[in-house]
């Protein structure tokens, strides 16, 4: 789609309706191609456009359907609207502590410093935030954040972000290719030259000639059986980057969101926002016990209430009471829930109870959590204003992604950038709730600016796409149609999801991780003979066959890194190595595609050293100077 669809194009998808293109293949030239139309992709496209680039956005689904809409709680930004004591230093410290100090410190710093400006920018473009009594953007509490700092729109902040960025994108006239999947990146020597894609509607191929590509494809959740992620999340950006020669970092760290729906089966894994707990919801087991007090780790004891009385008092008097344990970082809460379920204290459908009905009035719940009220009423016939919700952990977010330069988001491949969930480093071993939306905005803008500066500097010396590479990309995409008597890709995906769920899930063990790698090798062999029936038009089996290649390489990266990291930290818990090891806290695990292009190589890399002016915030007796902004 474009702001005004060109003649001869489908008015909704932008697909060419004629057959005149040579070989049935379209060709387009841009300065910057953004792959993905979530918050990161759209913010990057807007920045690139504003910097003078000719920009295209390519997305697998329709514009406005990005997974960013599932980020319900808010945008973490130290604006100080509710707590004047809040500032970027406190936010930086919270982010690093939440990530168990494995974050790229520079990314965490930039994010904390620039998020408030990016939020104000959204408001300038028309985002309608909830308000404090004196008219400022309202900010709510969330797990792991010292102060209430999540700018929000009820419990549908991500939807408002996408609406605003989408409107801005269309208003600027940026070209958007909807329902279009990128399958390969092109290089000229060591530099990006463009990418290869196809229209999902017709199967028609497209070549994009562009010296820069920004990957903003989101996560990897569809490799797992129970996930909050939508169908697009098949690790496309991760795999595209690896095949182009880039490295991935922190892939062992998968965030299992503590609260996903567990009933009915058709919605298992669907996200229940952390805002429920931020607004007073508590977790109970089948015996009615508020169990989170039994799971407060030493690392957070000083700032977490250890009695029901103090925890409840915190909601009215935050200065003189410590935070409820329900608002510990997500990895801690998810492990606690998992332990209760495994101990036999789960609900009838295999979860635990999240109760806000006994704590807040129906009017409060409907006003603060309208989406949750309707979600449970419509999908599970549960009225959350009068009864508790059944919830359990669900694969939600991958902290790992493409290894990038903190300031520009460029990968090790010239002209290739990655932003949002498909980039790595910002969140370390565990992401704090609310930090994802700020991440999209801050680094989306930085990537768009940097990609445009690079493209503009090339002049006439732009990398060129070779005919041989185009032919190879086309043959690769069509390969599943050429197989005789092969296997249905759906059966391979089902087995992969079950294997990842059982062997690389929330609690891991070395022997099970070894089993998972053997299983993945078997899936890769089966995938060589995937058979797709029918034609290229409207063929979901073909789409999955292409996606499955990405899912397999990403799943291997996760399992191999999880086996190598012999400790428990953040989103990575090893049953056989239950403690956090300070030695492992000094290094990252980096994965690359092997020389044959058939598997994953793994290496250790020292963690970037934090400068002294920032390390002072983590001394036992020190804290950021509050009130300073």
Give the catalytic positions in this structure: 257, 277
* Strands (DSSP E) found in 329-403: 352-355, 389-398, 401-403
Angle of CA points 378, 381, 385, to nearest 5° = 95
Contacts (Cβ under 8 Å, ≥6 apart) of 88 = 78, 109, 112, 113, 116, 629
478 vs 472: CA distance, rounded Å: 10
DSSP code at position 16: B
Tokens of 81: 């609207």
**Alpha-carbon gap, residue 88 to 626, rounded angstroms:** 10
Q: Taking a C-beta distance cutoff of 8 angstroms, is the pair 259, 272 a contact?
A: yes
Per-residue burial over 292-326, b if 16 or more Cβ lie within 10 Å, else e, is bbebbeeebeeebbeeeebbebbbeebeebbbbbb
| Plot region of 47 (φ>0 → left; ψ -120 to 50 → alpha; else → beta) | alpha
- Rounded to whole angstroms, what are the CA distances from 201 to 17, 206, 220? 11, 13, 23
Residue given tokens 């992604």 in the structure block: 401
- DSSP assignment string, 436-480: HHHHHHHHHHHHHHHHHHHHHHHTT------HHHHHHHHHHHHHH
Q: Apex CA 625: angle with CA 621 and CA 628, to 5°? A: 170
Contact (CB, 8 A) for 583 and 606: no
Which residues lie below 8 Å from residue 403, measured CB to CB, with a gap of 6+?
246, 247, 248, 249, 411, 412, 424, 425, 590
Task: Decide if 452 contacts 53 (C-beta within 8 A).
Answer: yes
HSE, CB side, 13 Å, CA atoms: give it for residue 37: 31
Cβ partners under 8 Å of residue 461, min gap 6: none
Task: Give the torsion sign (CA, 442, 443, 447, 453).
Answer: positive
Strand pairing report for 352-355 and 587-593 = unpaired
Q: Mention every residue, 6+ apart, whose C-beta is less than 8 A from residue 501.
A: 224, 225, 226, 395
∠ CA 165-171-177 to the nearest 5 degrees?
75
């Amino acid at each position: 789609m474009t702001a005004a669809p060109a003649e001869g194009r489908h008015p909704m998808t932008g697909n060419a309706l004629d057959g005149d293109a040579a070989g049935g293949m379209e060709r387009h030239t841009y300065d910057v191609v953004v792959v993905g139309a979530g918050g990161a992709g759209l913010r990057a496209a807007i920045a690139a456009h504003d910097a003078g680039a000719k920009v295209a956005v390519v997305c697998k689904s329709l514009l406005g359907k990005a997974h960013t809409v599932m980020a319900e709680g808010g945008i973490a930004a130290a604006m100080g609207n509710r707590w004047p004591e809040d500032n970027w230093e406190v936010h930086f410290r919270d982010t690093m502590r939440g990530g168990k100090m494995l974050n790229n410190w520079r990314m965490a710093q930039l994010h904390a410093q620039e998020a408030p400006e990016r939020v104000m920018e959204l408001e300038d473009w028309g985002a309608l935030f909830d308000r404090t009594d004196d008219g400022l953007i309202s900010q709510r509490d969330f797990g792991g954040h010292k102060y209430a700092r999540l700018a929000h729109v009820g419990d549908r902040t991500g939807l408002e972000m996408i609406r605003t960025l989408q409107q801005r994108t269309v208003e600027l006239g940026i070209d958007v290719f909807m329902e279009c999947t990128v399958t390969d990146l092109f290089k000229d020597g060591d530099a990006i030259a463009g990418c290869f894609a196809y229209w999902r509607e017709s199967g028609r191929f497209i070549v994009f000639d562009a010296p820069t590509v920004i990957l903003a494809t989101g996560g990897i959740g569809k490799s797992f059986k129970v996930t909050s992620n939508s169908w697009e999340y098949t690790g496309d950006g991760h795999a595209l980057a690896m095949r182009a020669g880039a490295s991935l970092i922190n892939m062992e760290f998968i965030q299992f969101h503590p609260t996903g729906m567990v009933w009915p089966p058709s919605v298992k894994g669907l996200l229940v926002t952390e805002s429920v707990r931020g607004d007073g919801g508590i977790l109970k087991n089948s015996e009615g016990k508020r169990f989170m007090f039994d799971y407060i780790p030493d690392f957070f004891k000083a700032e977490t209430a250890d009695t029901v009385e103090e925890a409840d008092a915190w909601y009215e008097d935050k200065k003189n009471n410590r935070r409820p344990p329900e608002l510990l970082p997500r990895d801690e809460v998810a492990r606690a829930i998992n332990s209760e379920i495994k101990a036999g204290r789960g609900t009838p459908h295999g979860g635990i109870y999240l109760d806000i009905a006994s704590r807040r009035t129906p009017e409060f719940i409907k006003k603060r959590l309208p989406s949750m009220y309707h979600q449970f009423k419509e999908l599970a016939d549960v009225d959350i204003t009068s009864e508790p919700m059944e919830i359990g952990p669900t694969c939600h977010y991958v902290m790992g992604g493409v290894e990038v330069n903190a300031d520009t988001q460029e990968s090790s491949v010239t002209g290739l950038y990655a932003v949002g969930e498909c980039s790595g480093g910002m969140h370390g071993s565990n992401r704090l709730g609310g930090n994802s939306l700020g991440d999209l905005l801050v680094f989306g803008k930085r990537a768009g600016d940097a990609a445009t500066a690079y493209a503009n500097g090339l002049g006439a010396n732009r990398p060129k796409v070779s005919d041989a590479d185009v032919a190879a990309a086309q043959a690769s995409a069509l390969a599943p149609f050429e197989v005789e008597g092969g296997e249905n890709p759906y059966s391979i995906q089902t087995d992969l999801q079950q294997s990842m769920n059982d062997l690389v899930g929330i609690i891991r063990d070395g022997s099970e991780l070894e089993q998972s790698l053997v299983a993945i090798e078997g899936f890769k062999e089966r995938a060589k003979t995937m058979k797709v029936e029918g034609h290229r038009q409207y063929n979901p089996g073909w789409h999955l066959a292409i996606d499955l290649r990405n899912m397999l390489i990403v799943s291997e990266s996760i399992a191999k890194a999880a086996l190598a990291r012999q400790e428990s930290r953040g989103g990575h818990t090893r049953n056989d190595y239950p403690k956090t090891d300070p030695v492992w806290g000094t290094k990252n695990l980096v994965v690359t595609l092997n020389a044959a292009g058939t598997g994953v190589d793994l290496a250790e890399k020292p963690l970037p050293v934090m400068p002294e002016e920032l390390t002072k915030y983590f001394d036992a007796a020190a804290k950021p100077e509050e009130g300073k902004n």
